[in-house]
Amino acid sequence: MEQTPDIIVISDEASIRSELNTLLGALGYDVVVYEAYPSVDEFRDQAQIPDLLILQVGEDQIEAAKGIIQATNAYRKTPIVFITDTKDDVVFTKLKEFKPFGFLPNPLDLGSIRRVVELALLYDTGNGSSEAYLNGTNGTNGTNGHHSNGNGVHLEYPTYFFTKVGNKLRKIPIDDVRYVEVEGKYSSIHLPEKKYNVKASLKELLEKFPPERFVRVSRNFIVNLEFIDHIDTIQYQVKVVDRDIPVSRTYKDELMGRISLL
């Protein structure tokens, strides 16, 4: 089950906020709208790590925008779309330093908004995405595993990630993950004695997990191969610790191709 993209809009113009909230909501996105730039501390306290930032920026708002962008990118590289006067060379030059996905001119063109947003959400930032604050491969957040994608391309995978619980970021070693299950809009990551709900799709999580260890077995489950006790080839189920997890026909061949069979 894919998750609904989260979009944060910051604009000091009521008409822009209203247009974006109405349009993006009608397109099925979850939208959080600010009428002014919050402080970085306020933004972090709300634990909102979006899939896309849409920021209206004038010359006097560049530093505030920079704080929000840095707070977001500390956890996940996020595409940015600026609403600004692109004829103002000073502002345009400063905003280019943030390497945004694109610019929207004011007044807004609703057709352009839809196309830019859809393309931005497809943009590969290289960091995956998750409100779980997945620890990427920036070289400062732990030891990474090394793998190949089969085409000779060297890939790195984190050995742990963090998820926000209350006002703390809890460290979760990937080795401890038994399985992941879709629960509504969240993915529930099951560990030996507890579980954590994160707002990330199975596809997003699977891209972060070492591929030789984790495999998707249905629309709603990823399992850690290390913790499979047995595979029922009649009922199409895998036993992971104390849980019988269904295996769909779509993913059955993928599972069987990943195990060592004597």
Instruction: In whole angstroms, give the CA distance from residue 111 to residue 104.
Output: 11
3-state secondary structure of 20: helix
Structural class in CATH, domain 174-258? mainly beta
Of the chain, the percentage scoring pLDDT greater than 90 comes to: 29
What does the pLDDT average to over 209-216?
86
Domain 6-122, CATH number (from 3.40.470.10, 3.40.50.2300, 3.30.1330.10, 3.10.580.10): 3.40.50.2300
- Element (H or E) spanning 34, and its range? strand 30-34
What does the pLDDT average to over 115-119?
86
In this prediction, residue 157 carries a pLDDT of 58
User: What value does the mean pLDDT of the chain take?
Assistant: 80
Instruction: In whole angstroms, give the CA distance from residue 133 to residue 164.
Output: 8
Of the chain, the percentage scoring pLDDT greater than 70 comes to: 82
Which of the residue ranges 40-44, 53-57, 200-204 has the most confident prediction, judged by mean pLDDT?
53-57
The reply to whether 174-258 shares the fold of 6-122 is: no
What does the pLDDT average to over 209-222?
90
In this prediction, residue 240 carries a pLDDT of 94
3-state secondary structure of 113: helix
Higher local confidence (pLDDT), 2 or 186: 186
Q: Is the pLDDT score of 251 beyond 80?
A: yes
What does the pLDDT average to over 5-24?
90
What does the pLDDT average to over 162-190?
86
Beta-bridge mates of residue 246: 237
Higher local confidence (pLDDT), 152 or 72: 72
3-state secondary structure of 244: strand
pTM here? Answer: 0.49
In this prediction, residue 151 carries a pLDDT of 38
Domain locations in the chain? 6-122, 174-258
* Residue 217 near residue 245 (C-beta atoms within 8 A): yes
What does the pLDDT average to over 51-60?
91
In this prediction, residue 244 carries a pLDDT of 95
In this prediction, residue 150 carries a pLDDT of 40
